[in-house]
Structure 1
Amino acid sequence: METFNVPTREEVSESNQAIFDNLKKAVGFVPNLYAAMAHSETALGNYLQFQQGKTSLSNKEKEAVNLAVSQGNGCVYCQSAHTAIGKMNGFTDEQILELRAGNASFSDKLDALVKLASEVNNNRGRVSDSTLENFYNAGYTKGNLVDVIIAVGDKVVMNYLHNLTQIPVDFPMAQELDAVEA
């Protein structure tokens, strides 16, 4: 099987080079998974526009969804990236591990959110009545539900891309959840 390389700036189109330059200014580097998308003329730009769209979810809520979905899909790259981003958004190491496991004992509202996101992801959009009722009882709305589905979809794209390509992880490696639960 041919390995999937991470293209350099010089190996991508002019439009993707401009995106690389913007990412480097904003983040300090071009994450490998974003760079891998630049094999396509349009995917990176389309994805970033999708990812950066407005949402009713806070940054912390988005990271909670990202962590739970990435764990559910077994994406080491995204687990690692969102562990780092989760810390930047104020989560502790213990909270991040709990979110990845689909729980949040430290917040009833986040607990309802990650349980819903995990079920949506693991059951292809199907959730139990009690999970949905708990989500609404935690203060979320139908609009929030739609935004959670969008957030799950966003993360599934990246999880699947990494799971298929296995490009190198360029974030500090996330702790294995199994090692913590044992």
Structure 2
Amino acid sequence: MTTPIEKVSFTVPTRDEVSDNNKSIFDHMQKAFGMVPNLYATFAYNDTALADYLALQNRKSTLTAKEREIINLVVSQVNDCKYCVPAHTAISKMHGFTDDEILQIRRAQISFNEKYAALATFVKETAVNKGRPSENALENFFEAGYNKASLVDVMMVIGDKIMSNYLHNITQIPVDWPAVPNI
């Protein structure tokens, strides 16, 4: 006779529950932002994952902060991440995007900037088709002014977002960002 498997549940690790290395990162985030976002704290279940993830996010890139936010929003929307869409909506507003522009970005139907439109379409097709965008999306991406180095940087940000989206989609830790409209 087998016993039923208990449902696995996740809570957000507190500072007292994480490694010394992660405590230091928590302290830095608390000082810099006034909080440790729940998803970052969830990476701290592992002794090194939070630092590794932050290194990936903070790497030098050919992309602007706005371009990275476009990628973050598009991939998070494709992956239906209830944490990352609100988080990157708030961050996108800090970078100057309006509410209407953010909705266009999430849909990957941008009318306010041709270069951003090519990026969003390329990213959405790449995410939906598991790394296989259409030839047209790829050509438009390069014609918009991106190059091979940009392509690699886009893939790095897509990979970053897939990790965080999947971590939240599995753990379902509480969202600590303002709610956003569903689309």
Match of 2:23 in 1: 17
TM-score (norm 1): 0.96
Q: Distance in 2 between matches of 1:97 and 1:82?
A: 12
Q: Which of these two proteins has the greater Rg computed from alpha carbons?
A: 2
Secondary structure of the residue aligned to 2:77 is helix
Decide which of 83, 101, 105 is 2:107's aligned counterpart: 101
Matched, 1:62 2:95: no
> What amino acid does structure 2 have at the position aligned with 1:102?
A
Report if aligned partners of 1:59, 1:89 keep a CA contact under 8 Å in 2: yes
Query: Is 1:4–2:6 an aligned residue pair?
Result: no
Counterpart of 2:77 in structure 1 is 71
RMSD: 0.7
Q: Give the structure-2-normalised TM-score.
A: 0.95
Q: Distance in 1 between matches of 2:81 and 2:70?
A: 15
Answering whether residue 123 of structure 2 is matched by residue 117 of structure 1, we say: yes
State the Cα deviation string for residues 98-121 of structure 1 (Å, max 9, x = none): 100112110000000011111111
* Offset, 1:27: 1.8
Which of 143, 146, 149 is 2:152 aligned to?
A: 146
Q: In the TM superposition, what is the alpha-carbon distance from 1:3 to its structure 2 partner? A: 1.1
User: Structure 1: which 5+ residue stretches go unaligned?
Assistant: 178-182
Identity among equivalent positions (%) equals: 53
Write out the 4+ residue segments of structure 1 that deviate beyond 4 Å after TM superposition: none
Take 1:168 and 1:37, find their aligned partners in 2: how far apart are those partners? 14
Aligned letter for 2:111?
Answer: S
Contact 1:34–1:44 at 8 Å: present in 2 too?
yes
Distance in 2 (CA, whole Å) between partners of 1:87 and 1:6 is: 26
**CA distance in 2 between partners of 1:125 and 1:26 (Å):** 35
The equivalent position to 2:52 in structure 1, one of 37, 46, 52, is 46
Structure 2 unaligned blocks of 5 or more: 1-6
For the Cα contact (< 8 Å) 1:9–1:20, is it kept in 2?
yes
2:90 is aligned to 84
> How many pairs were matched up?
177
Q: Distance in 2 between matches of 1:107 and 1:57?
A: 15
